[in-house]
């Protein structure tokens, strides 16, 4: 494989999605910091942080936590609308939904890890890893948003759920926070950062694309599909224009494949040129295709 071909770019996250991700990650990290700063007030890092912000640091902490919460909830709502109203969003949620294949993949993955098989399972657009991450976030946001809202508006909820309910909400909010944070740090950060295949980082969250090499490794089935589509397009064109003998475009290692943007519903494009990321942006905005697992 020529290295050139390996560097071809495939859209993973549109700008819109990257902006969603950005708001989600900043609000999430802010919530983690300001939240655990409440729970562990004597921790060295909390003390340092509070000293930094002076006398009213504690009150500031609460305000920032609520602002971040509002941002996160807002992004979540936006995401719901995005998933319902946009074509790419609908495709996204369909691709993200669990399938039986995910369990098989998980099973095969472990077989591979323990050496029972030498074949690594091949993943499509979203692997079980990314699906788990995404739905965990969805679940976590709902739980944290609900319990957080109860705690925030304690005057409203206290008469409704009584003090025992408040205590339960507090407990859920705390343990869910631990679960969510650990999930991000252990699961998500491993796969996008520490994972030897992507280390030091999978840059799709700000560049928006994966290289062909990455695609081959992480999402081979998706690549196959893309190339199948492209081949179909090419074939049609060829028939139409030249009526030439058929060419087999089956294999993915075909050398000079033209990856014509042949979006069925989506317009992707990135010529195989090694253009800089800049080029991607306008195209993506119109109709992003790929999506990074969250």
3-class SS at 272? coil
Site size for other proteins (CB under 8 A): 46
CB 249 within 8 A of CB 234: yes
- Of the candidate residues 11, 13, 24, 37, the single one contacting other proteins (CB under 8 A): 37
Q: Does 45 bind other proteins (CB under 8 A)?
A: no
3-class SS at 39? helix
Q: Does 108 bind other proteins (CB under 8 A)?
A: no
Residue with structure tokens 């003390």? 47
Q: Does 114 bind other proteins (CB under 8 A)?
A: yes
- Of the candidate residues 1, 4, 22, 59, the single one contacting other proteins (CB under 8 A): 59
Shortest CA distance to 37 belongs to which of 61, 13, 19, 68? 61
User: Among the candidate windows 64-72, 187-195, 265-273, 283-291, which touches other proteins by CB under 8 A?
Assistant: 187-195
Least distance (Å) between residue 25 CB and other proteins: 19
Q: Does 183 bind other proteins (CB under 8 A)?
A: yes
CB 183 within 8 A of CB 133: yes
Radius of gyration of the chain (CA): 23
- Of the candidate residues 103, 178, 193, 239, the single one contacting other proteins (CB under 8 A): 178
Least distance (Å) between residue 70 CB and other proteins: 20
- DSSP secondary structure of 36-64: HHHH-TTSHHHHHHHHHH-TTHHHHHHHH
Q: Does 61 bind other proteins (CB under 8 A)?
A: yes
| Helix %, strand %, coil % of the chain (to 5) | 70, 0, 30
Extract the tokens encoding 24: 């989600």
Which residues here bind other proteins, judged by CB under 8 A? 37-39, 41-42, 46, 50, 55, 57-59, 61, 109-110, 112-114, 151, 154-159, 162-164, 167-168, 170-172, 175-176, 178-179, 182-183, 186-187, 190-191, 194-197
């Amino acid at each position: 494989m020529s290295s050139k071909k390996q560097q071809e770019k495939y859209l993973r996250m549109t700008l819109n999605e990257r902006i969603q991700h950005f708001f989600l990650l900043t609000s999430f990290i802010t919530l983690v910091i300001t939240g655990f700063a409440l729970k562990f007030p004597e921790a060295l890092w909390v003390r340092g942080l509070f000293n930094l912000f002076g006398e009213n640091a504690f009150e500031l902490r609460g305000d920032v936590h609520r602002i971040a919460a509002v941002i996160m909830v807002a992004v979540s709502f936006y995401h719901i609308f995005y998933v319902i109203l946009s074509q790419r969003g609908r495709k996204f949620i369909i691709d993200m939904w669990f399938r039986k294949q995910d369990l098989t993949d998980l099973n095969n993955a472990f077989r591979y890890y323990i050496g029972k098989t030498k074949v690594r399972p091949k993943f499509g657009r979203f692997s079980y890893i990314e699906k788990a991450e995404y739905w965990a976030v969805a679940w976590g946001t709902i739980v944290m948003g609900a319990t957080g809202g109860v705690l925030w508006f304690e005057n409203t909820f206290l008469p409704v759920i009584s003090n025992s309910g408040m205590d339960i909400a507090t407990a859920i909010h705390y343990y869910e926070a631990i679960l969510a944070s650990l999930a991000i740090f252990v699961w998500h950060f491993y796969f996008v950062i520490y994972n030897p295949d992507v280390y030091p980082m999978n840059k799709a969250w700000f560049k928006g694309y994966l290289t062909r090499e990455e695609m081959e490794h992480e999402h081979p089935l998706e690549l196959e599909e893309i190339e199948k589509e492209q081949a179909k397009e090419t074939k049609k064109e060829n028939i139409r224009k030249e009526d030439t003998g058929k060419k087999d475009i089956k294999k993915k290692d075909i050398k000079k494949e033209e990856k014509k943007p042949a979006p069925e519903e989506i317009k992707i494009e990135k010529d195989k040129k090694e253009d800089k990321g800049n080029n991607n942006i306008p195209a993506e905005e119109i109709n992003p295709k790929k999506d990074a697992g969250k």
